[in-house]
Amino acid sequence: MTWKLFSLLLEASLMTIFVSAVSILLGLALGIVLSGMRMSGSRIAYAGAGVFISFFRGVPLLVQLLLIFNLLPVMGITLPSLATAIIGLSLCTAAYQAENLRGGFEGVPPGLVESAEMAGFSRVQSFVWIRTPIALRMTFPALVNEAILILKASSLVSVVGLIELTKMAQNLSASTYQPLPIFASAGVIYLAINLVVAAIGQRAEDALPGLPSK
C-alpha cells in the first residue's frame, strides 16, 4: 500500500462526500414534503406518501439504483450518472427521513400550533414556520445518524457508473492484487469521515437551542 494508492482513495472519497451531502439535503427537503403530505388531511396525499415510503424502505438500495438507472431512460429521461446516483440516494433517504421526522412532528406541542393558527397563520404557514422547525430540531440526532447511513450507502452508487471511494478501491485492488490493504484503507477513510460527521453533529446538537417543554 503506497501513498500514491492511498491518495487516490482519498481523492475518490471527495465524490463519496459530495454525493452523500447533496443527497442528504435533497432527501431532507423531500422528507419534509412527504411529512406534509401525510399530515395534509388529504387521503390521496396520505396514501401516496405511504406507498413511497414503504417502497423505498422495502427495496434494497442496490436494486433501487439499478431500477432508476434503467427505467428512467425508458420513460424518456436520460440523466448523467452523477444525477442518477444523487436521485437514487435522495429518494431512499427521503423515505427514511420522513419516518424519522414523523416522531418529531408528533412531538410538536398542539397548543403551539393552535396559538399560531389563532394568530392568523394558515395551516401551510404553521406547517412551514412552526411545526417543521420544531420537528427538525427534535429529530436532529436522527438526521446525523441518517447522514452516516447515507455515507455508507453511497458505496453502492458505482452500479450507476459513478467512481467513488468503494469503486476506486475495487479498481485498485484489481490492478494491484492487494485487496486486504486497499479495502482496509477504504474502511479507515469511511470510518474517519463518519467520526467527523458524528463529532460535528454532537457539537451542533449542543449548540442548537433547547427543545420546547411539552
Residues of this chain that bind another protein (CB under 8 A): 4-5, 8, 11, 54-55, 57-64, 66-67, 69-71, 73-76, 78, 81, 148, 152-153, 155-156, 158-161, 163, 166, 168-175, 177, 179-180, 183-184, 186-187, 190-191, 194-195
Report the residue number, 60 or 133, with the smaller CB distance to another protein: 60
Least distance CB 200 / another protein (angstroms): 14
Report the residue number, 78 or 122, with the smaller CB distance to another protein: 78
162: left (phi over 0), alpha (psi -120 to 50) or beta: beta
Query: Helix, strand or coil for residue 149?
Result: helix
Angle at 185 between CA 69 and CA 141, to 5 degrees: 65
Report the residue number, 63 or 124, with the smaller CB distance to another protein: 63
Closest CA to 97 of 177, 151, 172, 26: 26
DSSP 157: G
Least distance CB 50 / another protein (angstroms): 12
Structure-block grid coordinates of residue 185: 484503507
Least distance CB 120 / another protein (angstroms): 40
Report the residue number, 134 or 193, with the smaller CB distance to another protein: 193
Residue 140 and residue 204 in contact, taking contact as beta carbons nearer than 8 Å: yes
